[in-house]
Amino acid sequence: MTSVTAEPRTEEVLAPRPASPRPRRAGWRTFRYAVLILSLLVVLIPVYVLFVTSFKGMGDATPARTWFFPRTWTLENWVEAWTALSPALLRTFAMVIPAAVISSLLGSMNGFVLSRWRFPHANLVFTLILFGMFIPYQAVMIPLVQLMIDLGVPNGIPSLILLHVVYGIPICTLIFRNYYETVPMELIESARVDGAGLLRTYFSVVLPISIPSFVVVLLWQFTSAWNDFLFAIFFSSASNGPVTMALNNLANGAMLSNYGVSMAGALIASLPTLLVYILLGRYFVGGLMAGSVKG
Amino acid sequence: MKRRTTTRRSSLLVALVATGSLVLSACGGGGDGGSTDGEGGTAAAGGGDASEVQVMTWWAQGSEKAGLEALVEVFNEQHPDTEFVNAALAGGAGSQAKQKLQADLQAGNPPDSFQAHAGAELQDYIDAGQIEDVSALYDEFGLTDVFPDTLMERLTNDGKIYSIPSNIHRSNVVWVNPAVLEEVGIDPSTPPADLDAWMADMQKVADAGKTPVSLGMDWTQTQLLENVLLAELGAEGYNGLWNGDTDWAGGEVNSALTKFGKIVEWSNEDRDGLDWEPALQKVMAGDAAYNVMGDWAVAAYDAQEMTAPDDYAYWPVPGTDGVFNFLADSFTMPVGAAHPGGTKAWLDTISSAEGQLAFNKVKGSIPARTDIEASEFPAYQQSAMEDFSSDTIVSSLAHGAAAPVAVLTAVNQAVVKFSQGASDVDTLQSELVSATEPLAG
Amino acid sequence: MSTKLKSWGPGLLLISPSLVLMAVFVYGFIGISFQQSMTDSHTAGQATGRAPVSFVGLANYWALLQTPAFQHSLRNLLVFTVVFLLGTLVIGFCWAWVMDRPIRGEGIFRSVYLFPMAVSFVASGVVWKWLLNANQGESASGLNRLFQMLGLDFLQNSWWADATWGILAIALPAIWQLSGYVMALFLAGFRGIPEELREAARVDGATEMQLYRHVIFPQLSPVALSALVIIGHMSLKSFDLIMSIANQSSYSTKVPAIDMYNYATVYDYANSAAVGIILLVLVALAVVPYLWYDARTRKEGR
C-alpha cells in the first residue's frame, strides 16, 4: 500500500483487531501502558501551557510562576484576543468555505473521469496533476505575485480563494479518484448501456454515492486552507487576511509581551479545526490517510 | 548577454506603470521645482478628489494610536469636507504595514498617503516610481523655512523631496532602571562619560548577577550597533560610513564591533524573539539595567504611569552626547492615489504647526517644525527639542534614514548572525563591508 | 477513431478546466520562475518593470550556492529534515507498534496523539515560542524553567537561538505535530497484515522476534516509504513554524523557504525565484521517483 494510490478504508483499517487467542505476558502490557501514558503526558504539555496561560492576568505571568495555575482565573485575555481576531475569523470562513466547495467539485469530476471514463494517457495526466500536490509553492510564488497584480485580483480573501482552489485540485482529485476506483464498474456500465452520457452518468450515478468522499475532501480542504500561512503572508495582511495572519500579528506584534493574549488567540484560532477533528475525526483521519499534505 | 524583458506579464506591468510614470514626468517636466501651476495642477499640486483620504500607518496601538487620533481631530477641524479613513496596521515595527503596502503599491492600488521613514528608506519607492515629488507642496505650505536645514538636507533626493515629515525621533537614548543601578552602587543620575565608562558599569551589573542590557530582535540590535559606532567614531566618522569617507573595513570600526560584541554578550538570551516593547519591559520590571531605544520608549513609560527620575532615567548613549541620531516619520503622495485632493489636505495638516503640536505631544516625539514653543511639551520632549536645535544631527541606520532597505536588511542579517554566535568580529566586519557596498555605487 | 473520441472526448472536456489550471499554475509558473531566476532583477525598479532586466543565465544560482549564508540555510534544512524524519518515524512507529494489539483506551491515545495535526503551525508556534524561550537561570521560563523545577538544570539551553543546533529546536514542535500522523499510517499498515499470515508464521514455530523481522516489517516498508516521502517533502517546505517561533531575521533557524521570503520582501525577485527553484529541485528529487514508482505499480495493478 502506498498512501498515494490507495485510500485505506480508514474506519476498518484502524479498527482494533480481535483479541489474539494467545495471551501476552503481563509485563509487556504494563510496558505498553507506560509508553502510551507517558507519551500522552508529553503530547499534552503544550496544551496545558496554552490553557493555563490564557487565563492568567498580567502579574501572574512571571517566569517563576510559568508552570503553575493562575492565582486568579481571568477572562481578560480571551476578551482581548477575541476582539483582535474575530474579524479575521469571519474572513477565514468566507475564504475557506468557497475554496473547499469549489475545489472538491472540481476534484470529484477529475477523479471520476480519471478512474472511470478514461482517455489515452490518463495515467500520465494523473501523475502530472499529483505532482502539483508536492511542489513547494515557493517555486511559483514570484510569478503568482505578479499575476495577481496584473489580473487585478484584490489582495486578501479573493486572491486566497483562487489559490486554495487551484492548488487544492491535486489532493481532491487524488482522494476522489481513489474512491471511484472502488465503485463497481457495473454500476457505471449499466448506466452507459442505458445510453446515459458522461454528465448524466456523473450526476445521476456517481455524485449520489460520493457523499462520504465529499465529507473527507471538504474537511481536508477546510483544514488546510484554514491553517495556511504561506499564501496568506504573500497575498494578504493582518487587516485583510485570514486568522493565521491576524494571530501571527497578535503574537509577534509590538505589544508588551502578554503571552496570555497570544495563547488565548491561538486557542481561538484553532477552535474550528479542532472541532472538526473532534466531531468528525473519522473523516478527518480519512483525509490524512489519503496521503494528504499540509503546508 | 542580451537584454530582454523578463516575462509577458512584466511587459503588461511595464505598460501599467508607464501610465503612472507619465503623470510623474508631467510633474517633473514642468522644470526643476519651478512648476507652480499648469501641469503641476495634477496630483502633485493637489487637485482632484478630496472627498476622503485613506492613510496607512503602523500607529495602531498605544501612544502611537493616541497620537494619530489627536492628529485626526485637528484634520477634521482643518478639512471638514474630507473624510479620514484609517488604514493603520499593527505589528513588527511596521513590517506588516510595509508588506501590505508593497502589495498595494505594486497592484496600482495605493492608499492616499502612507507613513514612511524619511530618507534613504524611500529610495525603493522612488525607484519603483510609486511616489510623487512633493517639492511644490513645500512652497505652497511654506515649509521650507520652518523645517531646519539639517532636516531639509536629509529629505532631498536629487533636488526633489518625496515626503513631508510629521515628527522627529531620536535613536541614541539609553533608558535606565535607577533601582537596579543603585543596588550595585552606581549613581543613575550622572551618565558615564564615554562608552568605556559605560561598559565598566555594565560589568559591575553583570558581576552582581543582573542583566546589564536588554535587547530585542534584529533591528533593535542594529540600533545598538549604530549607536556604538556613533560613540566610537564620532559624528563625522559615523556620517562617513554612509558616504564612503569612513572605511567600514578600518580599525576603528573593528574596535567598535568588538565592544558591541561585548555588550551583546551581556544581554538577555531570548533577544531574537522580542520586539522592542518586551525588551524595554525588562528594564521597566527591573530585570535589566539598560535598554537602548528610540525615544518612543517614553510613551511606553507613560502608558504604565512611570515617571522620571524616580521610575526611570534617560540619557544619550554615552559617547554620543551632543549628537542627535535622527529619524523622522513622514507622509507621501503615492502615484495614482484615488483621492489626491485628500492627500494634499492630509499633508497640509500633518505639516501644520497645529497638527504637529497635537500629534507630538501625545506620541512622545518632537515636531519637525522649529516654530513651535517647547514649553507646550512635557519634560522629555523639551530636552529633546533643545538637543535637536543645538546638537549635531546624524541619520539612523536602523530606521531607514541612513541607507536603503536592502542595505539595512543585509546589515540586520549580519548582526543577528553575529549575536547568535555564528560569526566573530572579523566576519561581522567583512559582512558589513559587503552589506554596505551598494552605498558606494 | 471518431467513436473512440466520442467515448472519451466528453471526459477530457469535463476536466479540461482543471488541466488548464494545473498547466498554467504549476508547470507554466515553474517555467516563468525559472526564467526570472536567470535574470538580474534584484531591485525595486526592475521588479516593477521600470528598469531594464538582463539575462544572466545561471549566475544567480552559482552566487547563491557560494554564499556562506545560503550554505547555512541548506545545511539547516538537511539537519532539520533528518531529525524531523527520524523523530516522526521512530515515535510514530513505536506508538503504532504498542497499539497494534488491542489495548483499553486505544481511542483516547490515538485521538490525543493525532490532534496536533489539526492545529496550524502558526497556532502551535505561539505556544512553542514560549516553551522554547532561551533564557536560563533566574529569568528562565518555558521548558528551561521546567527543567529547573525537575532538577534537570543541565538540560537548559538556548534552544532555537543556538547558532549551530538552533534548527533542531524547530524540529521539536514539528515532530510533536506529525508523529501522530505517521502513527496512523503505520497503524493502518499493521492492521492491513492479515491475521492468517501471523498465525501461519507462529505455526511454523517463529518466535515473536522472527515474526516481526520476517513477516511484519517487510509488509510495512511501503508505509514507511510513504511516510518518508510525505514528511520529507513537508520538511523541505518548512516555513510557518520558523516564522512564528523565531522570525525571518533569525540566522540560526534560516532555511531556503525563509530566504525566499526575505528576498521577495526586498524586491530581489531573481534570487527569490532562484531559491524557489532550488527547493523545487530538492522536492522533486524525493518525489518524482516515488510518483514514478507509484504510476508503475498502478499500471501493473490493473
Task: For B154-172, write each residue's pLDDT tens digit.
Answer: 888 888 999 999 999 999 9
Are B17 and C49 in contact (CB < 8 Å)? yes
Would the pLDDT of A167 be above 50? yes
Give CA–CA dist A149/A152, Å, rounded.
5
Q: Does A146 touch chain B (CB under 8 A)?
A: yes
Give the pLDDT of residue A16.
62
Neighbouring C-alpha atoms within 13 Å toward the C-beta of B102: 24
Q: Mean pLDDT highest for which of A144-148, B409-413, C274-278?
A: C274-278
Residue A262 touches chain B, beta carbons under 8 Å: no
Minimum distance, in Å, between the CA of residue C233 and any CA atom of chain B: 27
**pLDDT tens, A239-259?**
788 999 989 888 876 555 578
> pTM above 0.85?
yes
Of B2, B92, B99, Cβ closest to residue C55: B2
pLDDT value, residue A170: 94
What Cα–Cα distance (Å) separates residue A208 from each residue in A192, A200, A201, B164?
17, 12, 11, 64
Instruction: List the single best residue of C29, C38, C48, C55 to mutate versus B (max B Cβ within 10 A).
Output: C48
Residue B294 has pLDDT above 60, yes or no: yes
> CATH topology for B41-169+330-379?
D-Maltodextrin-Binding Protein; domain 2 (3.40.190)
Does the beta-carbon distance from B3 to C53 stay under 8 Å? yes
Kindly state whether A233 is in contact with chain B, defined as any CB-CB distance less than 8 angstroms.
yes
Three-state SS annotation for chain A = CCCCCCCCCHHHHHCCCCCCCCCCCHHHHHHHHHHHHHHHHHHHHHHHHHHHHHCCCHHHHCHHHCCCCCCCCCCHHHHHHHHHHHHHHHHHHHHHHHHHHHHHHHHHHHHHHHHHCCCCCHHHHHHHHHHHHHCCCHHHHHHHHHHHHHHCCCCCHHHHHHHHHHHHHHHHHHHHHHHHHCCCHHHHHHHHHCCCCHHHHHHHHHHHHHHHHHHHHHHHHHHHHHHCCHHHHHHCCCCCCCHHHHHHHHHHCCCCCCHHHHHHHHHHHHHHHHHHHHHCHHHHHHHHHCCCCCC
B220: cell is 533593535
Shortest alpha-carbon distance between residue C159 and chain A (Å): 16
Contact A101, C250 (CB under 8 A): no
Domain boundaries, chain B: 41-169+330-379, 171-326+399-440
Digit-coded pLDDT (tens) for B164-219: 999 999 999 999 999 999 999 999 888 999 999 999 999 999 999 889 999 998 89
Cβ neighbours of A73 (radius 10 Å)? 12
Most confident of A16-25, B39-48, B388-397: B388-397
Band of pLDDT at residue B106, cut at 50, 70 and 90: confident
pLDDT value, residue A2: 35
Q: Give the one of C149, C226, C256 whose C-beta lies nearest to A2's C-beta.
A: C226
A49 contacts on C by Cβ (under 8 Å): 127, 130-131
Q: Specify whether the CB–CB gap between A72 and A57 falls below 8 A.
A: yes
Type and span of the H or E element at B313: strand B313-316
> At residue C77, does pLDDT exceed 90?
yes
**Mean pLDDT across the stretch B310-324?**
93
Distance (Å, whole) CA C248 – CA C246: 7
**Nearest CA distance, A113 vs chain C (angstrom):** 6
Whether B434 and chain C come into contact, CB under 8 Å, resolves to no
| CATH number for domain C69-301, candidates 3.40.50.300, 3.40.640.10, 1.10.10.10, 1.10.3720.10 | 1.10.3720.10
Q: Name B324's bridge partners.
A: B393
Query: Which chain B residue shows the shortest CA-CA distance from C41?
Result: B6
**Distance between CA A243 and CA C182 in Å, rounded?**
27
User: Which chains, if any, share at least 3 CB pairs under 8 A with chain A?
Assistant: B, C
Q: Do A155 and B13 touch (CB under 8 A)?
A: no
| Contact (CB<8Å) B13/C252 | no
Candidates C39, C48, C161; nearest CB to B128: C48
CB C260 within 8 A of CB C279: yes
| Residue B15: HSE in the Cβ half-sphere, 13 Å Cα cutoff | 7
Rounded CA-CA distance C257/A177 in Å is 31
CA dist B153 and B129 (Å) reads: 21
The distance of C20 to chain A (nearest Cα, Å) reads: 10
pLDDT at residue B28, as a whole number = 33
The DSSP code for C215 is I
Q: Which residue of C has its CA nearest to B417?
A: C251
Residue of C nearest to B126 (CA): C45
Task: Note the pLDDT of residue B35.
Answer: 34
Hey, are the CB atoms on B96 and A238 less than 8 Å from each other? yes
What's the pLDDT score for residue C191? 84
User: Would the CB atoms of A198 and C269 count as touching at under 8 Å?
Assistant: no
Count the residues in chain B.
441
What does the pLDDT average to over A103-113? 93
Before B309, cis peptide (omega within 30)? yes
Contact residues, chain A, for C100 at CB < 8 Å: 17
**pLDDT on residue B238:** 95
- What's the CA gap between B399 and B384, in Å, rounded? 18
* Average pLDDT of the segment spanning C72-96: 95
- C-alpha Rg value of chain B to the nearest Å: 22
In this prediction, residue B161 carries a pLDDT of: 92
CB neighbours of residue C147 within 10 Å: 17
Q: Do C251 and B106 touch (CB under 8 A)?
A: no
One fold for B41-169+330-379 and B171-326+399-440: yes
Crossing angle (nearest 10°) for helices B251-265 and B218-243: 170
B5: nearest CA partner in chain C: C53
The reply to whether residue C246 touches residue B272, judged by beta carbons under 8 angstroms, is yes
- Per-residue pLDDT tens over the stretch C107-149: 889 889 989 988 999 999 999 998 998 888 878 888 989 998 8
Q: Which of C1, C13, C14, C15 to mutate to test the interface with A (most CBs of A within 10 A)?
A: C15
Collapse the DSSP code of C17 into the 3-class scheme (helix H, G, I; strand E, B; otherwise coil) and give the result: helix
pLDDT tens digits for A114-141? 988 778 888 889 999 999 999 999 999 9
Task: Note the pLDDT of residue B21.
Answer: 35
* C-beta atoms surrounding B206 within 10 Å: 16
* CATH (one of 3.40.930.10, 3.40.190.10, 3.30.70.1560, 3.30.420.480) for B171-326+399-440: 3.40.190.10
Give pLDDT, residue A10.
47
How far does the CA of residue C60 sit from the closest CA of chain A (Å)? 15
For chain A, list the domains and their CATH numbers. 29-73 (no CATH), 74-293 (1.10.3720.10)
Residues in chain C within 8 Å Cβ distance of B3: 52-55
Segment C50-76, tens digit of pLDDT: 888 999 999 999 999 999 999 999 999
